[in-house]
Amino acid sequence: MTLNDILAFLPMVTLLTWAILLLVADLWIPPERKRLTALLSAIGLAVTLGLTLAQLSFTQAGNSLTAFHDMVVTDGFSVFLDIIFLGSGLAAVTLAYNYLKRMGIERGEYYSLLLFSLSGMLLMASAHDLIIVFLALELLSIPLYVLAGFARPRVESEEAALKYFLLGAFATGFVLYGISLMFAATGHTDLAGVLAAAEGGSAFVRPLFLAGAALFLVGLSFKVAAVPFNMWVPDVYQGSPSPVSAFMSVGAKVAGFAALLRVFVMAFPSLGAEMTPLLWGLAALTMLAGNVLALAQNNIKRLLAYSSIANAGYLLMALVPYASGQAAASGVAAMLFFFAAYALTSLGAWVVVVALEQAEGQGLLIDDYAGLGRKSPWLALAMTVFMLSFTGFPLTLGFWGKFFLFRAAVQGGFTGLALVGLLTSLLSAYYYLRVVVVMFMRAGQPQVCNELWLGLTAGVLAVLVVVLSFMPNPLLLLASGAGIR
Amino acid sequence: MSFLVHPLFLVTFFPLLGLLVIAFLKEEQKTAIRWVALATSLVDFGLSLWVLAEFNGANPALQLNLDLVWLKIAGLEIHFHFGVDGLSILLLLLTTFLTPIAILSTWSGVGLLRERVKGFMLFFMLLETAMTGVFLSLDLVLFYIFWEFTLIPMYFLIGIWGGERRIYAAIKFILYTMAGSLLMLLAILYIGYQAGSFSLPELVAHRSAFAAAQTWLFLAFALAFAIKVPMWPLHSWLPDAHVEAPTAGSVILAGVLLKMGAYGFLRFNLPLFPQATLQLAPWMGLLAVVGILYGAIVAVGQQDLKKLVAYSSVSHLGFVMLGIFALNPQGLSGGVLQMVNHGLSTGALFLIVGMLYDRRHTHLFSAFSGLWKIMPVLGGLTLVVTLSSMGLPGLNGFVGEFTILLGAFGSPTIWSPWLALAATLGVILAAIYLLTMFEKVYLGRVMQEENLQLKDISTREILTLAPILVLIFWIGLYPKPFFDLINPTVGQLSAMLQSAAVALH
């Protein structure tokens, strides 16, 4: 282990160490003072974020660091994603701060599990080897299975955990099998070696490689919630404690896409002819099914679950031209930009959900939002911003997010797919705006938890969504500078 | 930061200053909120007069350009580009002219308009900024942003302050218009990718880059604009939106928002896709004429004042579209002027319907008769507005419709003279439904006892109608200054289309 290795790996190691120490320290923190654990975990996240930002100035100059014999890499791509992961982690801590106590499930291990899962995500963003991808996938998933069941003994939560665990393990199996087939076909697990073998290695077996790549895609499709591998999503999002769902909707999804992007762009360009139609179908189906099914939802958590499926579809759309040079680069930049827009929007919407959720799963129906516009106009306004951003209305970050995704698809020559995306966006306008209708145009007496932290988080996120849409250039430059090389 | 004092920037974003002030006022300070909103919109009208003073009517080109790079990465540049020419100057003035009138008309509003003034005015300020931006934007992406953003304030205005079926109408309004604009977004992305730019002047110069797909691109843009106009058969959102919207919302919807569609054809479809325009012009003209007749015939059968005015809008906007697709100078300039005329006379009709609603809380014909005896002043004003909408010579409607028909008769592109002849029928039908409306409401005996107590028009209400009436007479008697603003740009546009026609054959 050289200094180089340590420098490249510092944020992830810091977070992992912090998580272990927190687990131990929590033993001495009395049950009535669990907020100290929350505070400590937030400090850990802030420290890691600081280290990541220090790396940012390094990668922005166009540098990258590989470490542990090319197993992991720190480049613009990984740093950009790390910031999103850590941001969503901080949001998950903020959301849980009071929520766990309100719901009577305040236990310190929430925070260390969160940090463990996050360190898996950081590892995923840096993964430069198929083995590391697998390792990261396990490290990020297993704590999430536990977190999904954190509201035990509530049956819904236990069901969510079991469902998530079973399907997640199944998906991981696909990934692992795919990796082993690819290893058999190429003799390598490092992405550069796989690429070299696929483009003219002597002992290369193409059908085996293709089968491995397809299985890999299927496995990760579970993680990013693409149709038809999405069955778990609504139930798990609904059953899990809301802060966990919020974290899943951003962290787990973005991590899945990180792996897809890195591996597809780096190792699979030679499979473009086979993979492109596959991804096309997957993207179209996901956009269509996610948006159509969302129309019928009455529960806000299920609505957001289907919305997260639909958004996976839009993201996949920009992945379709992954094998074609210029369009691929703009696709990667568009996806990175969209991650940021989606993270701010989705986390914001979940903040509002947490603010309205009551014990025993009350306050989660969309109808429970009636009258929110009169009762707490600022919270309703923030929710409106998030819904408009999800829809892709101008003057929200979501508009630019979709704009660049669609642009990437058009640039890659997939105008038809972009058309599917735009028409399904129209469907999504109906269900997102329904929330706005209920909040502002129906009378009611919603129960709102007036907590300073929640209001502040929702406000900050809403302001970011709007203000960044007026000056998207810095974020865009950051995203387009963070390509995979 | 010199763009902050650019007249076009100021006229667009000044309402946001009013919005900020209103945001800091309390919900209970209703009078203050109303006055701030009115003052803001009046100052904004003043600013648009400043734009007019700076504007050189003899110059056909885009003027007062404000061109800043907004967003720039490799291979992509989006500009913040504002400019004004003969196509947009009158529509800009119409927007800033109608907004204070619409705001003043809410003073006596009933129901929620009385209770929740703050939100209403906030959305109105947002709406004014968005509409102004639509008419001034010269970058396709910037245009799309303003275009799409106008939906949000209007959605809330209808959805919160509207009538009984307001939620249905608001959702129908937003989904219908979004359906069109999403396809336009796709076309914009395609053009941007093919030509490497989103800036309208640049794209007009390099339109050969996407000429191969121009029929499709024309249709994608046309769908967005035709829904907004609305052209038959895409009009079905309009009656719902109009009937449910509060008076001020209807005034703006008819007066300005519908014009955005017709303006879009002039600004984008014609110069960007001239060949496709020439090929599709007969069909667009046909749809326009069907719209004229359909709107008029349906208007004849209405039992609801607001619905009647809404369907008359479909018919009148048909004239505008017919003029535009005549593609000759008369047709085009008549179309532009008729947009203004329709904004004035239909705006005034909606104001009058609103005044009746404030008094009787209904739009149905059956609630009114013989009102002339009770409210002679309102009756007289209504008569003038009705005649203006009908196209009586000496009033504004005549000038616009006459010029349009002249253009349509003389146009080789649109099956002359059959379409123009059919459109003339629309003028006759307009006389039937408008005079019937007037007769039912104002003439005859008073059948309803409760109407005997109705008060005649108030000073404030006269103030909302008077400026419109002045313009109705002005344009009707001496339209030259208005045509002088329009003609140079329109002449240039039609000359360009002529040369495209030569290239086509």
Same domain, A346 and A241: no
Same domain, A18 and A110: yes
d(CA B86, CA B35): 33
| Closest chain A residue to B173, measured at CA | A430
What pLDDT does residue A44 have?
94
Beta-carbon count within 10 A of A374 CB: 16
State pLDDT tens for residues B105-122: 888 766 667 778 888 899
Same domain, A162 and A263: yes
| Closest chain A residue to B177, measured at CA | A426
Burial (0-12, 13-18, 19+ Cβ within 10 Å), B105: buried
CB contact under 8 A, A422 and B186: yes
Cβ-proximal residues to A233 (8 Å cutoff; 6+ apart), any chain:
A225, A305, A306, A308, A309
- The shortest CB-CB distance from B185 to any of A422, A440, A480 is to A422
pLDDT at residue A1 greater than cutoff 70:
no
State pLDDT tens for residues B292-334: 999 999 998 888 888 899 999 999 999 999 999 988 899 999 9
Quick check: helix, strand or coil at residue B197?
coil
d(CA B96, CA B5): 18
Nearest-Cα distance to chain A for B262, in Å, is: 22
Structurally, chain A folds into a number of domains equal to: 2
Burial (0-12, 13-18, 19+ Cβ within 10 Å), B357: buried
- The shortest CB-CB distance from B190 to any of A415, A423, A441 is to A415
| Partner B contacted by A474 (CB < 8 A) | no
Q: Mean pLDDT throughout A109-135?
A: 94
| Partner B contacted by A419 (CB < 8 A) | yes
Element (H, E) at A81: helix A76-102
CB contact under 8 A, A399 and B159: no
Cβ contacts of A408 on chain B, cutoff 8 Å = none
Cβ contacts of B217 on chain A, cutoff 8 Å = none
Residue type, B329: P
- % of chain B at pLDDT higher than 90: 43
What pLDDT does residue B65 have?
86
Contact predicate A255/A85, CB 8 Å: yes
What pLDDT does residue A66 have?
85
Closest CA to B155 of B24, B252, B272, B273: B252
pLDDT at residue B72 greater than cutoff 90:
no
Quick check: helix, strand or coil at residue B79?
strand
Contact predicate B253/B176, CB 8 Å: no
State pLDDT tens for residues B278-290: 889 899 999 999 9
State pLDDT tens for residues A329-343: 888 999 999 999 999
Q: What angle do CA B415, B323, B305 make, to 5 degrees?
A: 115
Q: Determine the length of chain A.
A: 485
List residues of chain B with CB under 8 Å from any CB of chain A. 70-76, 141, 144-146, 148-149, 151-152, 155-156, 159-160, 166-167, 170-171, 174-175, 178-179, 182-183, 185-186, 189-190, 192-193
What pLDDT does residue B212 have?
87
- How far are the Cα atoms of B243, B316, B343, B385 from residue B351, in angstroms, in the given order? 13, 18, 12, 11
Closest CA to A150 of A137, A139, A140, A164: A164
CB contact under 8 A, A388 and B152: yes
d(CA A3, CA A18): 20
Quick check: helix, strand or coil at residue B246?
coil
Quick check: helix, strand or coil at residue B126?
helix
What pLDDT does residue A290 have?
93
What pLDDT does residue A323 have?
86
Mean pLDDT of chain A: 90
- The shortest CB-CB distance from A480 to any of B74, B166, B167 is to B74
CB contact under 8 A, A430 and B72: no
What pLDDT does residue A145 have?
94
Same domain, A203 and A65: yes
State pLDDT tens for residues B140-179: 999 999 999 999 999 998 888 887 888 888 888 899 899 8
CB contact under 8 A, A394 and B166: no
State pLDDT tens for residues B177-217: 998 899 999 999 999 988 888 999 888 888 888 888 889 99
Nearest-Cα distance to chain B for A485, in Å, is: 17
d(CA B30, CA B119): 11
Same domain, A277 and A258: no
d(CA B427, CA B423): 7
State pLDDT tens for residues A310-320: 999 999 999 99
Local confidence band at B504 (pLDDT 50, 70, 90 cut-offs): low
d(CA A53, CA A57): 7
- % of chain A at pLDDT higher than 90: 63
What pLDDT does residue B239 have?
87
Q: Last residue of a domain, which of A267, A284, A304?
A: A267
For residue A229, the 8-state DSSP code is S
Cβ-Cβ contacts under 8 Å between A and B: the total is 78
B13, B79, B151, B186: best mutation site toward chain A, by most A Cβ within 10 Å? Answer: B186
Cβ contacts of A330 on chain B, cutoff 8 Å = 75
pLDDT at residue A483 greater than cutoff 80:
no
Same domain, A333 and A402: yes
Spell B418-456 as b/e; 16+ CB within 10 A means b.
Answer: ebbebbbebbebbbebbeebbebbbeeebeeeebeebee
Q: Which domain holds residue A313?
A: 268-485
Same domain, A344 and A247: no
Contact predicate A391/B171, CB 8 Å: no
What pLDDT does residue B95 have?
94
What pLDDT does residue B368 have?
82
Same domain, A219 and A293: no
- Helix B140-149 vs helix B117-136: crossing angle, to nearest 10: 160
Q: Last residue of a domain, which of A205, A240, A267?
A: A267
| Closest chain A residue to B176, measured at CA | A426
Same domain, A252 and A333: no
ipTM for this prediction: 0.91
What pLDDT does residue B148 have?
92
Nearest-Cα distance to chain B for A56, in Å, is: 19
Spell A288-305 as b/e; 16+ CB within 10 A means b.
Answer: bbbbebbeebebbbbbbb
Lowest mean pLDDT: which of A199-203, B62-66, B95-99? A199-203
Residues 343-402 of A with CB under 8 A from B: 388, 393-395, 399
Q: Last residue of a domain, which of A239, A267, A295?
A: A267
Contact predicate A266/A195, CB 8 Å: yes
d(CA B324, CA B398): 17
Q: Mean pLDDT throughout B71-90?
A: 88
Cβ-proximal residues to A144 (8 Å cutoff; 6+ apart), any chain:
A117, A164, A168, A244, A247, A248, A252
Beta-carbon count within 10 A of A324 CB: 16
| Closest chain B residue to A428, measured at CA | B175
pLDDT at residue B505 greater than cutoff 80:
no
- % of chain A at pLDDT higher than 70: 99
Same domain, A244 and A320: no
State pLDDT tens for residues A409-434: 998 889 999 999 999 999 999 999 99
pLDDT at residue A485 greater than cutoff 70:
no
| Partner B contacted by A265 (CB < 8 A) | no
CB contact under 8 A, A473 and B186: no
Q: At B35, list the tokens.
A: 């006055």
DSSP A12-52: HHHHHHHHHHHHHHHTTS-GGGTHHHHHHHHHHHHHHHHHH
Q: What is the 3-state secondary structure (H, E, C) of B209-234?
A: HHHHHHHHHHHHHHHHHHHHCCCCCC
> Per DSSP, what are the bridge partners of residue B73?
B76
State pLDDT tens for residues A40-92: 999 999 999 999 998 888 888 778 888 888 889 988 899 999 999 999 999 99
Same domain, A208 and A272: no
Cβ contacts of B145 on chain A, cutoff 8 Å = 394-395, 399
Same domain, A211 and A201: yes
Q: Mean pLDDT throughout A365-379?
A: 89
Cβ contacts of B167 on chain A, cutoff 8 Å = 437, 441
CB contact under 8 A, B189 and A410: yes
d(CA B488, CA A431): 47
Mean pLDDT of chain B: 88
